[in-house]
Amino acid sequence: MTPEDRAMVTALCADRAGLRVDPEKEYLLENRLGPVARREGFVGLGEMLQTLRDRGDERLVWAVVEAMSPSETAFFRDPATFAAVAGPALEDLARRRAGQTLRVWVAACGSGQEVYSLAMLLDEQAPDGVTVDLCASDLSERRLERARSGVYSQFEVQRGLAARRLVRHFEKADETFVVARRIRQMVRWRRVNLMEDLTPFGQFDLIFCRNVLGALVESARTEVLGNLKGCLAEGGYLVLGLGDAASGLTALPGGAGVHQAETRRRAAAA
Amino acid sequence: MKTCLVVDDSRVIRKVARRILEDLGFEVAEAADGADALAWCATAMPDAILLDWNMPGMSGLEVLRRLRLEPGGDAPKVVFCTIENEIDRIREALAFGADEYIMKPFDGDIVAGKLAMAGAL
């Protein structure tokens, strides 16, 4: 890839999805985009980039942007975060929202490990007196397809997943492991660009967004965080990566990345 | 320093596991078969055991069963480390008292993660 190619891809990613792509990381760019060129039927990466420059058709643009969006994830990544969610956050929500439906959203679900971790947790210890509506979204349609299939390699199911959970929630199919139908059926999937207006999705009690903010350019980070905060119900929880800050929300003690929106009572007291 | 006993009939696997475990801060001992492993445990019970399933002589499952009957034999965290990758086998190992389960091939991250889940780190 020429420096011009890399600059073009970097600019497209920032423009369409707020993604911060380092144009100096030639290896990463070629590694991610090579498969896209092959899949789209180009002779090589160079031909695809030339077509992108000449015609810039939207489908190809998105194929490139999606390939550059972060995808790395593991089951139960940051166990302290899941403990904080399973304990204080869900207990509080179950108490305040008794008899209602909790709306939970895993934004930027990547290949699905995070939303399935949450689904397993909810299956093992369903919060009392509430039903849970669990949705997952990602920028990439391809990744959503993969996540929805619930198929993981032997390597993937050994990252973060306890053996007891593997035997309880997975089935083996040839040399892969598939999330049990019971767990897969708990999740609804949808493609969402977090840079767009999110108000049509309504309000959520619990939002996970742990793989994204660090990968965005500064302005996009502010925008996405603002969009997500706008989707938080009163007293709802936003779960971010361990290092991510969220102004206007109260971080739960323990530094596990769990932040709570104001409740009416607290707002009234202030 | 915590001790970990690596039980595997393959010298190569023992060597790879030793390097990973030493990086994690374990003092490592090796046993090439089940009898050797149990003899080692009778002398000095390790904190953790990385246990192969298929070995000449005694199987890993049998080693685990006998270990858990020994005085102090319920203390070590036992992590199977085997090419057996059927769900039923994993279930069987857990029922016999294994704390965690690694399917070969493994890498340093998997070993570290599984030992942490077993409570051995």
Q: Which residue is associated with the tokens 């294994």? A: B98
Least confident of A109-113, A265-269, B72-76, B87-91: A265-269
Instruction: Express each pLDDT in A100-137 by its tens digit.
Output: 999 999 999 999 999 999 999 999 998 889 999 999 99
Helix, strand or coil, per DSSP, at residue B81 = strand
**Residues A232 and A121 occupy one common structural domain:** yes
- Per the domain annotation, does A87 fall within a domain? yes
Last residue of a domain, one of A14, A47, A68: A68
Identify whether residues A120 and A92 lie together within a single domain. Answer: yes
Asked if the Cβ–Cβ distance from B110 to A155 is below 8 Å, we say: yes
Q: Does A71 score more than 80 pLDDT? A: no
Q: Which residues of B touch A166 (CB under 8 A)?
A: 87, 90, 101
Model confidence at B113, pLDDT cuts 50, 70, 90, reads: very high
Q: In this prediction, what percent of chain A has a pLDDT beyond 90?
A: 86
Question: Do A93 and A190 belong to one domain?
Answer: yes
Considering the domain architecture, whether residues A35 and A128 belong to the same structural domain is answered as: no
* A187 and A57 in a common domain: no
CA distance A160 to chain B (A): 7
Average pLDDT over chain B, rounded to an integer: 97
Mean pLDDT over residues A152-178, rounded? 97
pLDDT tier at A190, thresholds 50, 70, 90: very high
A180 within some domain: yes
Which amino acid is present at A100?
A: Q
Interface of A to B at Cβ within 8 Å reads 154-155, 158-160, 162-164, 166-167, 170-172, 175
* Neighbour-count burial of A173, counting CB atoms closer than 10 A to its CB (0-12 exposed, 13-18 middle, 19+ buried): exposed
Q: Would residue A73 count as lying in a domain?
A: no
Q: How far apart are CA A111 and CA A75, in angstroms?
A: 10
Instruction: Tell me the shortest Cα–Cα distance from B39 to chain A, in angstroms.
Output: 28
- Which of A256, A262, A209 has the alpha carbon at shortest distance from A233? A262
pLDDT value, residue A243 = 81
Residue range A50-59: average pLDDT? Answer: 91
CATH of the domain at A108: 3.40.50.150
Residue A97 and residue A26 share a domain: no
Residue A74 in any domain: the answer is: no
Q: How far is Cα B85 from Cα B88, in angstroms, rounded to an integer? A: 9
pLDDT (0 to 100) of residue B92: 97
What is the average pLDDT across A63-72?
A: 88
B59-77 mean pLDDT? 97
C-alpha A196 chain-centroid distance: 15
Q: What is the CATH number of the domain that holds A19?
A: 1.10.155
pLDDT value for B45: 97
Domain-terminating residue out of A12, A47, A68: A68
A129 in the same domain as A46: no
The reported pLDDT for the residue numbered A265 is 60
CA–CA gap between residue B116 and residue A188 (Å, rounded): 32
Residue A57, domain extent: 3-68
The reply to whether ipTM tops 0.85 is: yes
pLDDT of residue A266: 53
Number of domains into which chain A is organized: 2
The pLDDT score that the predictor gives to residue A93 is 95
Phi, psi of A224 (to 5 degrees): -65, -45
> Does a structural domain hold residue A60?
yes
d(CA A48, CA A39): 11
Which residues of B are less than 8 Å from A170 in CB distance?
87
A178 lies in a domain?
yes
Q: How far is B49 from chain A (nearest CA, A)?
A: 16
pLDDT tens-place string over residues B87-111: 999 999 999 999 999 999 999 999 9
**Mean per-residue pLDDT, A69-97:** 91
pLDDT digits (tens, 9 = 90+) for B33-63: 999 999 999 999 999 999 999 999 999 999 9
pLDDT computed for residue A269 by the predictor: 52
Percentage of residues of chain A with pLDDT beyond 70: 98
Residue A115 shares a structural domain with residue A186: yes
* Residues A98 and A194 both lie in one domain: yes
Cα(A43)–Cα(A218) distance, rounded to whole angstroms? 36
Per-residue pLDDT at A128: 87
Q: Is residue A59 located within the same domain as residue A84? A: no
| pLDDT for A267 beyond 90 | no
Q: Is A100 helix (H, G, I), strand (E, B) or coil?
A: coil
Asked if residues A96 and A235 have their Cβ atoms less than 8 Å apart, the reply is yes
Which residues, at least 6 apart from A153, have a Cβ–Cβ distance to it below 8 Å?
A175, A176, A177
pLDDT of residue A212: 87
Residue from B88, B96, B101, B115 whose CB has the most chain A CBs within 10 Å, to mutate? B101
* Euclidean distance between CA atoms A19 and B43, whole angstroms: 58
| Three-class DSSP labels, A194-231 | CCCCCHHHCCEEEEEECCCHHHECHHHHHHHHHHHHHC
> Which domain-ending residue is among A68, A88, A122?
A68
Same domain, A189 and A143: yes
Residue type, A252: L
Residues A101 and A161 in one domain: yes
pLDDT at site A244? 86
Is A158–B102 a contact, with Cβ atoms under 8 angstroms apart? yes
Per-residue model confidence (pLDDT) at position B21:
98
Domains of chain B by start residue, with CATH = 3-118 (3.40.50.2300)
pLDDT confidence band for A45 (50 / 70 / 90)? very high
CA distances from residue A259 to A80, A154, A209, A239 in whole angstroms, order as listed: 14, 34, 11, 6
